[in-house]
Structure 1
Amino acid sequence: MPRIVLLNGSPSTRSSTEALLIHVADDLRMHGYNTTLMNLRSLPAEALLLARTDQPQLAAALTEVQAADALVVGTPVYQASYSGLLKTFCDVLPVGVLRGVPVLPLLTGGSDGHILALDHGLKPLLSTLGATSIAAGRFINSAHISAGAGVISPGAAAEVSGATAGFLTELDRHLTAPVRVPVG
């Protein structure tokens, strides 16, 4: 059964980003996918900052991402960009790790003015990791998410479900594509 890893780039516990990712994970499981939510804040800070990829917890996280059939990347927007925690984790991922891996990018933030961070920040970051199959993604205003209760407003839930549906279409296409063997 295909495995999808959901990366939570929020440094906060009970964040709107985590509530959104849990909502998406529930939706993906209803479609028959195995999901793993990875809270990057639980990784050892020193290992991340010093790129000590042999540290057991960080090495396990990197292996989990490399073994995933698809990735959902969620992050809050800070200063018009993705979180530094997400960036630090991406810095230790191997070059090209997302080549051929469908990715769904999701952002949360307190102002709709941050919507451009999706196309001008997060998607280019994912592209540098080799991602060529990046779903449309969504920015969801945190006002539409009750982080403590894990409740998402009906409008935001519908918007995210639409993004998830497009992502699943791409993932299904990816998983059923014939493997091409180079000739010669």
Structure 2
Amino acid sequence: MPVPASTPAPPKHVFVTVGSTRFDALVNRVLSPPVLDALRAKGYQTLEVQCGNSDVDIGQLQKVAEDRWKLAGGVETTVWRFKPSLQADYEQADLIISHAGSGTILDVLRMKKPLIVIPNPTLLDNHQAELSDSLAGLNHLRSTTVADLPQAIEKFDISTLVPFPQFDGSRFRELLDDEMGFSHSRETSAGR
């Protein structure tokens, strides 16, 4: 009896996003040979980069990316600025590399996708670093710098991530009630 042919695994896909901001350093770094080599070594075969308002020539950047990936083994690369939604891009990704914007982080963690975040140090008060460091400390994601991105990819062990808790609307309601002085609402809801 013939052994059925196994279906080849789909290519591993990396999605990079900088959101609506400008983060030229991250866009350029993800297309650098050290990062491309690290991704290839981890088995990633496609790379999609959402570059937002970064001051880059997309055509030139696309050509540089294609040339670099060809040298690294022919991995497909796509670069673009904006789409109405990133939901489908998150869903298709096996790894997401992102700026450390709170909206992006929450969207990705709720989808239980592996995430490496890079805070943008050019933003005021470096609030992204506080958020990313806190979530990295809880092992929900990996936080790194632009310079250390290749090493972060190499050392990133997805199996060690702790799933991000799902949103609990009742907990928010309890906190709001407590803040507003409606502590009786918890007693009422507990007695049901």
TM-score (norm 2): 0.46
Q: Highest Rg: 1 or 2?
A: 2
Question: Relative contact order (C-alpha < 8 Å, sep 6+): which is higher?
Answer: 1
